[in-house]
Chain A
Amino acid sequence: MAQRYIQINNSKTCGQTEMFTLQRIFIIAFIVLLEACTTTPRPNKNVVVDEKAVGDGQIGGSSQTDAAITSLFEQSQSQVTAGNLDEGARVLERALRIEPANPQTWYRMAKIKYLQNDYAQAAVTASRSNTFAGSDNALRLLNLTLMLDSYSALGDTDQAATVRAQIDTIQQQ
Chain B
Amino acid sequence: MKKTVLFLLVCGLLGALAYFFLHSSREEQVRGQLERLCEYVHKKGDEPPLDSLTRAVRTGTLFSESCQVYFDNPRVEGRLNRKELARRISLARNSFSLLTLSFHDISMRFPEDNRADISLTMRIRGRLRGGEAFADVRELVMGMERADGEWLISLVEEVQVLER
Judge: A and B partners, yes or no: no
Q: Which residues of A are interface residues toward B (Cβ below 8 A)?
A: none
